[in-house]
Structure 1
């Protein structure tokens, strides 16, 4: 990078909330399988601690040495349901606790992979894990969970969709804040470094480093500096900015991997907002010329942003992966919170926006009385968008017992706060309870 670009990057860090949102170590646990879940749990703890013992010290040293904020250090592991296929009565709580204890031992913020991939069907181990998600999240502090219920090549497993609606309700009945740690996916990716949906796929290596970069404030400032730009100029501006942001993620990831003696895998180019002032994806859309997020034109603006970020980032990184795009979590974006509180944005508009951005209905609080079948319907709708459009979509919805539309729930820290949003009161129960599989779309047959 030329000297002027280095100065620009320093300014981005100091004034525009540019950071490395996460350095995530992926660890395969396939060699921990013993056939006995409790013995497997012991080996899971030992391997995680052995591989990740230097992750936090190395990340902290890089942050201090280069002046680059690294907000989170995380671990993702093999989907845990795969570790107990040989156990006739799998009990996943010991593995969840082993993951949690290991995460605390190496001092990472979160560990993901209490997960199952059931897009084609559920094994007994998958069903046991899904049944134990509420208890596992309640019994741990740093464990995150995800379940992939559909894919463009597989269709939607509607039996699993029904189970996940019930699972979300069961978690919320224990503590709605625990629902922040569960994501239901369609087309989940195996190298995602962002929580709560991260897991380390079976096609990945034994261990590697992934980075997730974030700089909504940087992109917003770049657009604001050209208030009269047409769309072509705006796209070029976003691409150039995304290049610089992604280059930093590539640099940090490669240095971390080298010092840890493991391979460097991918940079995730996602713009991940926080409640901090000037760190909002919604504000980027408003800077483009919308009075507020949710205004007609919002989906088009988000499509432009998402595409330009990917085009700029791909040029900057050797390998791009994860989710890569713009996140629109309601509770984690200050301007999105304002729009939801004012009634400017609805669940239906958010659903439309997810057709062109990363992930889906994310960090959305709904009334506690919302039925499990309605949540399953929301999951099915979002998964259908992902299945038909051959993209990753997800739902992280939080029913809050005792709360009604207009109330709010405070999550704290990076998770922010969320207004309770209105949910369509129609009844989806007959549809959800049909069972079976929604077939894959015709364009899935490409062999």
Structure 2
């Protein structure tokens, strides 16, 4: 059993080292909302979300007050909308109606974001999938709290290059439709490979078809806590370094376990998983890049960065899995550029490039995340970047993702301000050589040989 004394042990982490529970996310199954009439579908979706999630925000706030644990976000993830809207939605505009209904529901229950305006197309696209994907630019431009994701590949199925090509175009269209907000719509859109069903973190969250009718997933954080712990053992051996990270991750995860159990009990919804990812914020001292520098790098991006990140990710998972029987989601270390002050500084001083970030994604939790690039980047180049990341995920049997923002009207050297947890980002250069002939081939990249394990 977890008791209050374990939480009291972490008071210093909370007060001085930016420890927080990043999100309580309620996953909701919407398959029973399916209807052939789009207005009826929207009504059913709105009613179910507002019924099940009506106490989510209050519960999170109550737990935060009672235990003194900051809970930053309260969110909802839903069944991928392309599966729910297939019978009713016959045009992209029909899907946009669903997006508006979801946005109204999100506002009604008071959550920060709602994820699941999504399609899973790792082997092929249905007509419904394609309609939803083509609706994404308009949907994200006309809503405030909706997040969208498209899974384009997996280790078992390979990479759907038709979907990869389309997503390059969709990202540019989304950037254009939200150009008055520095192409902010792209910050709520992510392209995945090997997407997990139980991810509580946006923008890639959706409620998988293998999940219960409703569940509670919790995502913890704490880069500042890990950095502080490592600052106490500078110059120590790798063994001491690893043990320190593991012990710290254990304590962080126990806090998340307490919050998850309490939220589950109070809401009457089963507990799903703890995602023990180190999720940075723009706050000073709450940075994964600064952890890497504490390990011994002059700047994130220096030689040794990938090895240091691999060590960090592995020890976080080893410590976290001892603290909870149900660890899932992504779990590890996020490396979003705009949300991590240390990453921003590394980019601005020339230590960190897009190519080095791609190398780091071989061992981190997700992939190329919250990266601003010039607005005139070709769609085929964006698709090529997506294909590269999907290949890393497919071959290494891990989740990878691309959340990239071609900022209309901006070029290398400019800075883009997104605000809040999304932070700000320098516009990064992109390789100028083309890949159009590769991206424009029809079909899919086959699954790797080691995928055949039946």
Q: 1:301 aligns with which of 299, 304, 308?
A: 308
Who is 1:81 aligned against? 82
Separation in 2, partners of 1:350, 1:128: 32
Q: CA deviation at 1:41?
A: 1.1
Q: 2:320 aligns with which of 313, 323, 327?
A: 313
Who is 1:171 aligned against? 174
Conserved? CA contact 1:293–1:339, under 8 Å: yes
CA change 1:144–1:437 in 2 (3 A) is: same
Separation in 1, partners of 2:263, 2:339: 27
Who is 1:40 aligned against? 41
Separation in 1, partners of 2:244, 2:372: 34
Q: Does 1:62 align with 2:78?
A: no
Q: Does 1:99 align with 2:117?
A: no
Who is 1:200 aligned against? 207
Conserved? CA contact 2:89–2:95, under 8 Å: no
Q: 1:155 aligns with which of 138, 155, 158?
A: 158
CA change 1:88–1:432 in 2 (3 A) is: same
Separation in 2, partners of 1:357, 1:110: 24
TM-superposition CA deviations, 1:321-346 (whole Å, max 9, x none): 10001000000000100011111100
Q: CA deviation at 1:85?
A: 2.4
TM-superposition CA deviations, 1:58-112 (whole Å, max 9, x none): 1100000110000000000000000122247152111111110000000000000
Conserved? CA contact 2:7–2:255, under 8 Å: no
Conserved? CA contact 2:7–2:67, under 8 Å: no
What TM-score does the superposition give when structure 1 sets the normalisation length? 0.99
Give the secondary-structure state (helix, strand or coil) at the position aligned to 1:399. strand
CA change 1:249–1:88 in 2 (3 A) is: closer
Conserved? CA contact 1:36–1:84, under 8 Å: no
Give the secondary-structure state (helix, strand or coil) at the position aligned to 1:35. coil
Separation in 1, partners of 2:424, 2:263: 33
Q: CA deviation at 1:3?
A: 8.8
1:250-289 equivalent positions in 2, closer than 5 A: 250-289=257-296
TM-superposition CA deviations, 1:354-388 (whole Å, max 9, x none): 00011100000000110000000000000000000
Q: 2:361 aligns with which of 354, 360, 367?
A: 354
Give the secondary-structure state (helix, strand or coil) at the position aligned to 2:23. strand
Q: CA deviation at 1:7?
A: 4.5
Separation in 1, partners of 2:366, 2:37: 35
Once superposed, which parts of structure 1, at least 4 consecutive aligned residues long, lie more than 6 Å away? 1-4
Structure 1: unaligned runs, 5 residues or longer: none
Give the secondary-structure state (helix, strand or coil) at the position aligned to 2:322. helix
What TM-score does the superposition give when structure 2 sets the normalisation length? 0.97
Separation in 1, partners of 2:87, 2:8: 56
1:201-216 equivalent positions in 2, closer than 5 A: 201-216=208-223
Give the secondary-structure state (helix, strand or coil) at the position aligned to 2:337. coil
Give the secondary-structure state (helix, strand or coil) at the position aligned to 1:98. helix
